[in-house]
Structure formats: C-alpha cells, structure tokens
Amino acid sequence: MTGLETMKNRSAITLFGGTGDLTYRKLLPALYNLDVLGKLDDNFKIIVIGRRAYTPEKYIEIARDWVKEYARTKFDNEQFESYAQRIIYFKMDMTNEEEYKLLQDFYTFMKIDQHVYYYAVAPSFFITITNGLKKYCASNNAKVIIEKPFGENLEKAAILNDRLAEFFGQEEIYHIDHYLGKEMIQNILSLRFKNVIFKGIWNKDFIENIQITAAETVGVGTRASYYDKSGALKDMVQNHLLQVLSIVAMEEPTEEGSKGIHISQYNLLSAIKPIEDVNNNLIMGQYIGYLDEANIDPDSKTETYAALKLFVDNERWENVPFFIRTGKRLGDRQTQVVVQFKAVGDTPGNVLIIKIQPDEGVYFQFNAKKPGTEQELQPISLDFCQSCILENRINTPEAYERLLGACLVGDRSLFSQWDQIVVSWEFINNLLEKYHKQGSLLHNYEQGSMGPIEAEKFVNWIN
Ligand code: BG6
C-alpha cells in the first residue's frame, strides 16, 4: 500500500513558509525522496505558500537546485520533472485572513479535500494561519504539522494548544521533533528491547550514569532574533534532548503502536525530579564572541551551552544520574548517548555509546585478558559504524522524510504529544526560574572547546 492510499486521490500538503529555509533544505528534498520511493499517491499535490511574486516556472527552478543539493536519493532530471508536476506555488499573504478564501477557492478548483498543513514558519504565525484556515477552510479534512518551538514557555504553549484545538482535534496535531526521526534514536528501541544482554541490565543495579550529548560546531547563524530569546535550554533540551532521554529511560511499552510508546515516554518525563540546587546541577555557558554576532543584544545573558544533572524518580533509576549537555560553537559536532555501566571492583565498567550523528553506530567497550602470561586486563571494544556502509546510508531516510511519511499514513508514534510537551515545559520553566533566583551564573567558554570547564566537574564525560 502506498503512503496515501488511505487519503484517496485528492490530497495535498500545503507548506506555509514555502520560500523559507526549512522548506528548501528539508521539506522539498524529503518529499522528493518519498516520491522516488513511490510513497506519494499519483494525484498528491504540494502547495507552496509564499508572498513573493514567483512564476510557477521560477519556483520550480529554485526548488530544483535545493532538491539537487539536499535530496538523499540520487537526483534524476526525469524524476524531478515528474516530481515538479506536483508542486504548485500559491502566492498569498498568510497574515491576511481574507486571502484564505482564495486559497479555499483554489482547493475547491483542484478538488482537494484531504489536507496536511505544514506550519514551516515562526511560531508567531501559528495562530494567524489557524484563524485563516478556520474562517475559510473549515470543512476540510485536515492534519497539521507544527514545528518547534511550541510556545516560549508552558503558559504560551497552552494558549497555542487551545487555539489550535479550536480547529484541529488533538489526534490531527502532529508536533514535529526532528530528533525522533533520526535513525539511531529509533534504533535505541531495538537495542534496548530486542537484546537480552541490554534488556536485563538497563537499570540502577548495573548502570552508573547516562550521558546525553548534542554538541554543535555551528553558532547562532542567521537565527539570532529567535535564538537570543530562547537559549540552549529551550532550543534543545526542552524538546529534542528530553525526548531522547524519554526513549533511553522509559519502561518498555506494554501496548502495541504509538499509544504504548507515548504512555511510556510521558511516564518517564513526568518522573523527572525537579532540580532544586540549581548551582550544583546546572552549568550554563555562552561562547566568547556571541555578543558580537549580528542582531544579538550586546548585554545578552542567553546561554549557548547548558549541562545538567538530573534524576528520575522511579524504581528503575533510583540514584542514577542522567547528564545532558548541549552547546553551540563547540570543538566537535557530535550527538550521542553514553551508557556508563558500573565497575566490577576496581575494573572499569563497560561503556555503550549510541552514536546518533554525524556517524551512526554503536560502540561497546568491555574488559578482557591481555594476551600473555600475566593476569592483566585490557579494555577492548566492538565498534559498529552503521553509516560507514554505503548501502546503509542510501537506505537511511532523513529525519524529515521519515516524519512526513509517518504523518501521511497517520503514524503518530514519531511525534511528541501535548502531555509530554506540558511536562517538559514544566521542568524547564521550573529550572529557569530557580536559575534566575539563584544568581544566573553564566560561564564564558572558548569557541572550539567542549564548553565551560565547570561542566567537567559534573562527571567524567565520555567523548
Ligand atoms: C534545532 C535547533 O531544533 O535543532 C537548532 O533550533 C539546532 O538550534 C538544531 O542547531 C540541531 O539539529 P541537528 O539535527 O543538526 O542536530
């Protein structure tokens, strides 16, 4: 069954923010890949909303270059020509409610009545677009995909959720967290639950600590106006890294399908203990040179780095610290989960590293006898580099491709849920409030380093 058979043949995705970076870099290439793989129905259309006065030909010309550069599957002119037949550039001002009438007229003319709306725009437009759709496109059968950040805090997220709920049912709202679409994040489920060697020891009796790192070499780039109001905790931890934590630490789902996973994730997230002693459990940093970046407030106290230590209040994880760190302009681009197992007497514990990016793979370190007459030990390792194998790279969908494909067939398991967003915001809001109350210590760090040295005191980070 192809992806959209369930949606019959008058279906479309409408991309609000059609001339933005996300559409060009991620969405159009992802949809191209789905098309190449035969996962789009023959009559499926891609309606791209933009304010610029592009002719359809001009837009296709622009799209061609982006798809050529970013599509995972091999670019093929003929294939692209057929893909381009699906794309329709629709010029409108998405902030003008009345223009949604023209959009609806267009849908009617095209006989499209099954919709996915993708809000690939700044959050300040989410409500505006929803109001326009509500007024003129209300009769449509529709799902909506929403980008992060979902609100700037819990209160704003709740308002947004209420407004969306006036038009979309909760089951139709797909909160995209592209980390959940990453191959190795999905692989954590298989590693944990399909290997008896890990399944049985994934708990406080055998695990010393768990470290989740998302280190980036890039800075704020052109997103200063958003980032300076957000910072690492809201930009990366509230969503992506807490989601990763939930997959790493949740109980095995007892129900099949997305519902079971969501319940387990929610239970884990709501068991995270609020951090009381912020000064000893949170390190915030800002890279030297951040204040000189374009459009950054010269007095900005926004963190570009955060490292935190937290505990999960349940039987499995009693007294096991979880460390999360993320930062911009660090020495290495590296996202990984490290599971540090307990030592056996004086012998160092095993280490499991789930490599998420840029390399994808699994590394496991254990102890063995050093060859020779002495009874000496040495650490040895198994290092499986999944992405080193060409075939694996070809067969690994990009996060957006996987997520768009999942939404089209109504698979919600790869999307974060509103109840998870609420508890994640509660945790982060609470943490930030205490951080500001307790003196807002912000450490500077050199670009190209691994962040403030104060975070080294937390734990022996395994790089
Ligand atoms: C985004 C953040 O959600 O994720 C960015 O807003 C960050 O600041 C990006 O750079 C990281 O994504 P990835 O896939 O490159 O790890």
pLDDT of 279 over the 80 cut: yes
- pLDDT band at 3, cuts 50/70/90? very low
In this structure, of 61-75, 137-151, 152-166, 314-328, the range with the lowest mean pLDDT score is 137-151
The tens digit of pLDDT for each residue in 55-106 reads: 999 999 999 999 999 999 889 999 999 999 999 999 999 999 999 999 999 9
Q: Ligand 1 mean position to 218 CA, how many Å?
A: 10
- Cα distance between residue 30 and residue 178, in whole Å: 12
Candidates 22, 178, 217, 218: which one to mutate for ligand 1, based on the most atoms within 8 Å of Cβ?
A: 178
Q: Whose CA is nearest to atom 4 of ligand 1?
A: 236
Q: Is 278 exposed, middle or buried (0-12, 13-18, 19+ CB in 10 A)?
A: buried
Q: Which atom of ligand 1 is nearest to the CA of 227?
A: 8
Instruction: Identify the residue whose C-alpha is closest to ligand 1 atom 8.
Output: 235
Q: What CA–CA distance (Å, rounded) separates 453 from 444?
A: 9
Mean pLDDT score, 153-160: 92
Nearest residue (by CA) to ligand 1, atom 2, is 235
Confidence band of 393 (pLDDT split at 50, 70, 90) = confident
pTM of this structure = 0.93
Residue 8 pLDDT greater than 80, yes or no: no
pLDDT-based confidence at 124, cuts 50/70/90? confident
Q: Which residues are near ligand 1 (CB < 6 Å)?
A: 148, 178, 216, 235, 335
pLDDT of 217 higher than 80: yes
Average pLDDT taken over every residue of the chain:
94
The atom of ligand 1 lying closest to the CA of 218 is: 10
Sign of the four-CA dihedral 110, 111, 115, 117: positive
The pLDDT tens digits of the residues spanning 331-349 come to 999 999 999 999 999 999 9
pLDDT greater than 90 at residue 399? yes
Q: If you ran DSSP here, which 8-state letter would residue 304 be given?
A: S
Q: What is the pLDDT of residue 5?
A: 44
Share of the chain above pLDDT 90, in %: 88
Q: Does 423 have pLDDT greater than 90?
A: yes
Report the atom number in ligand 1 closest to the C-alpha of 399: 14
At 1, the pLDDT band (50, 70, 90 cuts) reads: very low
Cα-to-centroid distance, 12 and ligand 1 (Å): 27
Distances from the Cα of 210 to the Cα of 245, 282, 453, angstroms:
9, 16, 19
| Residue 328 Cα to ligand 1 middle (Å) | 10
Q: Which atom of ligand 1 is nearest to the CA of 216?
A: 10
Whole-number Å distance, alpha carbon 233 to ligand 1 midpoint, is 12
Measured CA to CA, the distance from residue 134 to residue 130 in angstroms comes to 6
Cα–ligand 1 centroid distance for 175 (angstroms) = 15
Atom of ligand 1 nearest to the CA of 235: 6
Catalytic residues, by residue number, are 240
How close is the Cα of 205 to the center of ligand 1, in Å? Answer: 34
Q: What's the order of all strands across the beta sheet hosting 351-357?
A: 377-385, 361-369, 351-357, 334-341, 207-215, 322-327, 305-310, 282-287, 442-445
Protein residue with least CA distance to atom 9, ligand 1: 236
| Confidence category of residue 9, pLDDT binned at 50, 70, 90 | low
